[in-house]
Amino acid sequence: MAYDKSIAAFEEAYKVIPGGVDSPVRAFNGVEGTPPFIERGEGGYLYDIDGNRYIDYVQSWGPLIFGHCDADIEASVIDAVKRGLSFGAPTNVETELAAEIVALFESIDKVRFVSSGTEAVMSAIRLARGFTGRDNILKFTGCYHGHSDSLLVQAGSGLATFGAPSSPGVPADLTKHTLLATYNDMASVEKCFEDANGEIACVIIEPIAGNMGLVPADESFLEGLRTLCDAHGTLLIFDEVMSGFRASLKGAQGITQVKPDMVTLGKVIGAGMPVGAFGARAEIMAHLSPEGPVYQAGTLSGNPVAMTAGLTSLRKLKSNPAIYVDLGKKAKKLVEGFKKAADAVNVPMVTDVRGSMFGFFFSDKPVKNFADAMENDQKMFAKFHKGMLDRGVYLACSSFEAGFISAATTDEMIEESIKAAYETLAEIAS
Ligand code: PMP
């Protein structure tokens, strides 16, 4: 494939945008080649400015569960655009989307909309601190919760790709309240509670981690967190910005029996428009401004165009819950195909699937936490990524990211992708 126009475009971008990108992982730092500059999407495909076509397993990092340019979402958005882009005043569509979310999630009585996952989590943490009157929070190594100061500690995702444990510009005074434990390791959580005398406002977790590759939490681990949080008056926050409406209609909460105190959402609820949300039971949400003293606000929060896109997407999902069975089957078929292609050339690979999310590691042992994920063969991943891209398969450009199937991903696309995996791995092995 030729990438000449993208290479030139990246050079131009580099002159005026740091690293040529507006979000670091897009720069292809951990893999080979130049990021294709995208011209348009259509269903399950992406097209770049050189005219190359790719089967898209990134889907804007999760939001596009119906693929690109879904006719219903597009029509509702155009209709909303015609009535005005933003009012900074209440609209019915916010209430409608909130009501859909409240009806789905047992742990949410009220929900507040913001414009990104980062904002959702940052606000949820402030509310948890305000509600409990405590400063400390506990997160897990390898879980990413956006780039707000308190959470930018051992955060997986783009940071893992760059090998940067944290970021300059984040004062140690802020992160000293962020305790770190090991994913799927109860003893490490108990130690944090002991060290902090139980004075922890909240435990935040991706119940199905997608930012150290796809690494689901064990049910017994989530149960252990629930028990410990209850014993210490600590709030349990499920960050379902990625897994929400992806792992199942109710995200991880449709799979685990464990109920969190607070939930953060994003991605799919905006269908590709900038939306995030956080919700909890009424008693907690009552602490939020203007009902309560914990301040949080946003000029574009609840933007009518973004809310409309999310509402159409969510109603489509709700009206066809069987969609998750189909998405899950396709995800399984894809990674099982990758695994057979790897087996054929004796390259170790482990795979996993949760609903429409999939993951694969070039590793010979199960991945339960970030240290395990770090042991995957990243050089092999880089070669695999390049070979797949050259064959028209667009995978996330880091081994620490989950992949996504959309309703527009067909069986033929999956078969073509598996064929590409056989060819790529045979080429690497030769
Ligand atoms: N939480 C999780 C679990 C995420 O996966 C992400 C983004 N990948 C975020 C928070 C941050 O969301 P955003 O990029 O919209 O700020």
At 65-81, the pLDDT tens digits run: 999 999 999 999 999 99
Q: In a 3-state reduction of DSSP, which class is residue 360?
A: strand
Last residue of a domain, one of 319, 350, 370: 319
Q: Is the pLDDT of residue 344 over 90?
A: yes
* Active-site amino acid positions: 144, 239, 267
Q: Is the pLDDT of residue 57 over 80?
A: yes
> Is the minimum distance from the CB of 206 to ligand 1 under 6 angstroms?
yes
Phi, psi of 420 (to 5 degrees): -60, -35
Mean per-residue pLDDT for 258-265?
A: 98
Band (pLDDT 50/70/90 cuts) for residue 169 is confident
Q: Are residues 63 and 108 in the same domain?
A: no
Q: Which helix (H) or strand (E) element contains residue 329?
A: helix 323-344
Site to substitute for ligand 1 among 157, 211, 278, most atoms within 8 A of C-beta: 211
Give the Å distance between the CA of 303 and the centre of ligand 1: 19
Mean per-residue pLDDT for 11-28?
A: 96
Q: Which pLDDT score, from 0 to 100, does residue 104 have?
A: 97
> Is the minimum distance from the CB of 67 to ligand 1 under 6 angstroms?
no
Q: Which pLDDT score, from 0 to 100, does residue 165 have?
A: 45
Q: Which pLDDT score, from 0 to 100, does residue 143 have?
A: 95
Band (pLDDT 50/70/90 cuts) for residue 164 is very low
Q: Are residues 347 and 420 in the same domain?
A: yes
- Ligand 1 atom with the smallest distance to the CA of 209 is 3
Instruction: Please give the Cα distance from 113 to 117 (Å, whole number).
Output: 10
Give the Å distance between the CA of 24 and the centre of ligand 1: 13
Q: Are residues 238 and 95 in the same domain?
A: yes
Q: Are residues 103 and 36 in the same domain?
A: no
> Is the minimum distance from the CB of 239 to ligand 1 under 6 angstroms?
yes
Q: pTM for this structure? A: 0.96
Q: Is the pLDDT of residue 155 over 80?
A: no
Q: Which pLDDT score, from 0 to 100, does residue 166 have?
A: 67
Pick the residue whose CA is nearest to atom 12 on ligand 1. 117
Q: Is the pLDDT of residue 95 over 50?
A: yes
Pick the residue whose CA is nearest to atom 5 on ligand 1. 242
Instruction: Please give the Cα distance from 276 to 303 (Å, whole number).
Output: 11
Q: Which pLDDT score, from 0 to 100, does residue 48 have?
A: 98
> Is the minimum distance from the CB of 178 to ligand 1 under 6 angstroms?
no
Last residue of a domain, one of 292, 319, 346: 319
> Is the minimum distance from the CB of 260 to ligand 1 under 6 angstroms?
no
- Ligand 1 atom with the smallest distance to the CA of 210 is 5
Give the Å distance between the CA of 419 and the centre of ligand 1: 32
> Is the minimum distance from the CB of 266 to ligand 1 under 6 angstroms?
yes
Instruction: Please give the Cα distance from 17 to 22 (Å, whole number).
Output: 7
Give the total number of structural domains in the chain. Answer: 2
Q: Are residues 208 and 80 in the same domain?
A: yes
CATH of the domain at 334: 3.90.1150.10
- Ligand 1 atom with the smallest distance to the CA of 276 is 15
Please check whether residue 391 is in contact with residue 423, taking contact to mean a CB–CB distance below 8 angstroms.
Answer: yes
Mean per-residue pLDDT for 397-405?
A: 96
Query: Which residues share a beta bridge with 113?
Result: 277
Mean per-residue pLDDT for 172-179?
A: 85
Q: Are residues 386 and 375 in the same domain?
A: yes
Q: Are residues 23 and 107 in the same domain?
A: no
Last residue of a domain, one of 290, 319, 348: 319
DSSP 8-state code for residue 271: B
The model's pLDDT over 375-388, given as tens digits with 9 standing for 90+, comes to: 999 999 999 999 99
> Is the minimum distance from the CB of 121 to ligand 1 under 6 angstroms?
yes
Mean pLDDT over the full length of the chain:
95
Give the Å distance between the CA of 172 and the centre of ligand 1: 22
Find the range with the poorest average confidence among 14-28, 104-118, 148-162, 179-193: 148-162
Give the Å distance between the CA of 251 and the centre of ligand 1: 15
Q: Are residues 408 and 283 in the same domain?
A: no
Q: Is the pLDDT of residue 162 over 90?
A: no
Give the Å distance between the CA of 340 and the centre of ligand 1: 32
Q: Which pLDDT score, from 0 to 100, does residue 161 have?
A: 46
Q: Could you list the residue range(s) of the whole structural domain that residue 219 is in?
A: 72-319
**Chain centre to alpha carbon of residue 16:** 28
Q: Are residues 32 and 87 in the same domain?
A: no
Non-local CB neighbours of 183 within 8 Å, separated by 6+ positions: 140, 141, 142, 143, 205, 209, 212, 215, 217, 221, 368, 369, 370
Pick the residue whose CA is nearest to atom 13 on ligand 1. 117
Q: Is the pLDDT of residue 157 over 80?
A: no
Q: Are residues 238 and 344 in the same domain?
A: no
Q: Which pLDDT score, from 0 to 100, does residue 167 have?
A: 80
CATH of the domain at 249: 3.40.640.10
Pick the residue whose CA is nearest to atom 1 on ligand 1. 145
Q: Are residues 288 and 265 in the same domain?
A: yes
Q: Are residues 82 and 33 in the same domain?
A: no
